Structure 1
Amino acid sequence: MTMNNKELIDLLRQSQHLDHDGYKQLLTSLTKEDEDYLYKNACAVREEVYGKDVYLRGLIEFSNYCKNNCFYCGIRKDNLKAERYRLTPGDIVACAEKGYQLGFRTVVLQSGEDMWFSDEMICEIVKAIKALHPDMAITLSIGEKEKDSYRKYFEAGAERYLLRQETSNPEHYRQLHPKELSIAHRKQCLQDLKDIGYQVGCGIMVGTPGQTYDHIIEDLIYMKDFNPHMVGIGPFIPHADTPFKDEPRGTLEDTLHLLGIIRLMLPHCLLPATTALGTIDPLGREKGLLAGANVVMPNLSPRGVRSKYMLYDGKICTGEEAAECHACMERRIKRTGYEVVEARGDYR
């Protein structure tokens, strides 16, 4: 017997899993009424676990050098128009210090895969931040490394790691990445991180070139099996200096549908309303929170470098000071009925 969409949403909330056809139906056929029902359930589930709390993560984009040539990314190695920069270890620690004074209790250190930063340098930066503020959680988002490197960062004090798989389908992965990168290695890195003891984040871009709903369902099944602590979902937005410059961007609707589905599927996960969501819609991050997200990541990078860390075109919040960014986000979140809390926001 075929279920209608509301019945499928009820089933997903209850069992935290659907079969392939159930996911496909939800991804392709929601009416406005169905959407409202999905988001209402997603918000109820996130409130059962995390209440009305929204956690802010201070993002420090410390280098836009990258050894890779991913076809979608504005800081890919072959983009000769990118104005490259690196923050010094002292700059990075100072950004974290400023974040702490503003009330951030998590920083996310993000960069391209920049080999100039050795394992020892990353460890020293992590230790320096921890020495100043032992109660501050440190998340790394610096790409694919060897397990031994991940272990060193963990022992230095990093507790979380973000590594989006981008797509779980090997053929689709090859459409987005050069041949020396593989989804098998990416997934191995994610497993290594989990085995070491990190809180781990995976995720995808929505609407990448060649992506089908079947690919997205493959991702949902992978994420359900992997059971990450965090899931990063944002729309694909093209960058003018990449091979995908003329491709259409992902949609707000598809991204919000996925946020709602993932919240019901993984009730305990930390789910950001991403900057990319705010880039394709002025109220995108607020809509993300009202679809089940509970994390926002304002920028703590020095204002002078923000416009250089351009993974996609049109990125918002590149001209504000960190304090402005924090205050603005706090006001916007309050209007959704949720509230920013000064907390690390660990996985529950």
Structure 2
Amino acid sequence: MSCRRREAPMINNLTRLELAELIRQNADSPAGELTAAARKIRDERYGRRIFLRGLIELTNYCKNGCYYCGIRAGNAKIRRYRLTKQQILESCGIGYGLGLRSFVLQGGEDPGLGDKAVCDIIREIRFRYPGCAVTLSLGEKSAESYRAYYDAGADRYLLRHETADAEHYAALHPPGLSLQNRKKCLYMLKNIGFQVGAGFMVGSPFQTFENLADDLLFLKDLQPHMVGIGPFIPHVATPFGEFPAGGAGLTLTMLALTRIMLPDILLPATTALATINNNGRELGFEAGANVVMPNLSPIEVRENYALYNGKLSTGAEAAEGIKILKELITRADYVPDCLRGDHKDFREDSL
């Protein structure tokens, strides 16, 4: 079942086992026909634009104990922090001055960061920096919390599902966390009206090709607006600290397949991909990605938001290196775009 003998649209009609076999055949690296199809689809939908989002890591406090995550509650070796409202607004101001019009506020599930504080921050960003998109990535919340964020002015919400197989999900997370609730949150977010992002790790412990096929089929059902896909990278202070990292080749294959199955998707070339491969960003673009997220967090806290070992946060990965990032994008024959970069279903006059 070589992808060389399959037209891209046919991939959408494959069964779970056929998808798993296609992924297996492209596990080391995606076939050229696969990435060419992904690029063609992306270029038809969005042109050669690569959208830049300013990432602000609000807090590394987290109540959960996910077995793969460096900021898990059980990690006593990291210095915890929670940015003040002023620090967050100053970070947005730096990004705004650099031309960025899309901000991503990310953090652990921090009990000390209440809904009122989050809503105040959203409103102040919208007031001070008009025309900007505000994205949140703060984990699982109640419908009431999500609605409050939306009403305060948040446009988008990112919540990776991590794996679409319940048994695999249970192997990656402690009791009390369930795939059922994760999926429930994603569908709630869509119903409220957010541009919704899901996503998963590639090469996580115990993952099979069938699991990855399940991820694609779940995304096909959910129809999110964004998908974050990156390789699993171990963190030494977690139960999975000794497991090998996921591969760049398989990650690129999953990027390409996701682009083909969800043509209008906003698809990041992730920091994790750039961490395991020096050319990860460019390779991601060649596999159909069209988003990058330079780090706007205060420099003094970045090393403490270490979801995995070796996480990049300087140079082209940082807002202060945005010139480097733009040059990298231009050299790869793409066009850096700092505007809102909405999903096509949410466009008004421009991207």
TM over 0.5: yes
Query: 2:213 aligned with 1:178, yes or no?
Result: no
Map 1:235-314 → 2, pairs under 5 A:
235-314=231-310
Gaps of 5+ in 1: none
The aligned residue for residue 5 of structure 2 is 7
When residues 19 and 280 of structure 1 are mapped into structure 2, their CA distance, relative to the original with a 3 A threshold, is same
Query: 2:192 aligned with 1:165, yes or no?
Result: no
Per-residue CA deviations over 1:236-286 (Å, capped at 9, x if unaligned) read: 000010000100110000000000000000000000000000000011011
The aligned residue for residue 347 of structure 1 is 343
The aligned residue for residue 114 of structure 2 is 118
The aligned residue for residue 349 of structure 2 is none
Choose which of 330, 334, 341 in structure 2 pairs with 1:334.
330
Map 1:64-143 → 2, pairs under 5 A:
64-143=60-139
Structure-2 separation of matches of 1:75 and 1:34: 32
Structure-2 separation of matches of 1:84 and 1:59: 18
Structure-1 separation of matches of 2:136 and 2:285: 23
The amino acid of 1:340's aligned partner reads P
Choose which of 28, 35, 38 in structure 1 pairs with 2:31.
35
Secondary structure at the counterpart of residue 325 of structure 1: helix
Map 1:10-29 → 2, pairs under 5 A:
10=7, 12-13=8-9, 16-29=12-25
Preserved contact between residue 13 and residue 41 of structure 1 (Cα < 8 Å): no
Structure-1 separation of matches of 2:29 and 2:209: 21
Choose which of 35, 46, 49 in structure 2 pairs with 1:53.
49
Choose which of 46, 49, 59 in structure 2 pairs with 1:63.
59
Preserved contact between residue 5 and residue 25 of structure 1 (Cα < 8 Å): no
Preserved contact between residue 306 and residue 319 of structure 1 (Cα < 8 Å): no
> 1:14 deviation in Å?
5.3
Query: 2:222 aligned with 1:232, yes or no?
Result: no
Structure-1 separation of matches of 2:301 and 2:177: 28
Secondary structure at the counterpart of residue 250 of structure 1: coil
Per-residue CA deviations over 1:128-179 (Å, capped at 9, x if unaligned) read: 0000122100000000000000000000000100000001111111110011
When residues 196 and 278 of structure 1 are mapped into structure 2, their CA distance, relative to the original with a 3 A threshold, is same
Per-residue CA deviations over 1:75-133 (Å, capped at 9, x if unaligned) read: 00010001111110111011111111101110000001011111000000000000012
Per-residue CA deviations over 1:313-340 (Å, capped at 9, x if unaligned) read: 0011247895432111111111211110
Structure-1 separation of matches of 2:12 and 2:333: 26
Structure-2 separation of matches of 1:323 and 1:179: 38
The amino acid of 1:211's aligned partner reads Q
Structure-2 separation of matches of 1:179 and 1:156: 33
Preserved contact between residue 65 and residue 112 of structure 1 (Cα < 8 Å): yes
Q: How many residues are aligned here?
A: 344
> 1:17 deviation in Å?
3.6
Choose which of 311, 314, 317 in structure 2 pairs with 1:315.
311
Structure-1 separation of matches of 2:3 and 2:316: 42
Preserved contact between residue 202 and residue 232 of structure 2 (Cα < 8 Å): yes
The amino acid of 2:48's aligned partner reads K
The amino acid of 2:304's aligned partner reads K
Structure-1 separation of matches of 2:29 and 2:68: 34
Structure-2 separation of matches of 1:93 and 1:55: 21
The amino acid of 2:68's aligned partner reads Y
The aligned residue for residue 205 of structure 2 is 209
The amino acid of 1:142's aligned partner reads L
Structure-2 separation of matches of 1:18 and 1:128: 47
> 1:214 deviation in Å?
0.6
Per-residue CA deviations over 1:23-66 (Å, capped at 9, x if unaligned) read: 12321113999611111111000000000111001000011000
The amino acid of 2:337's aligned partner reads V
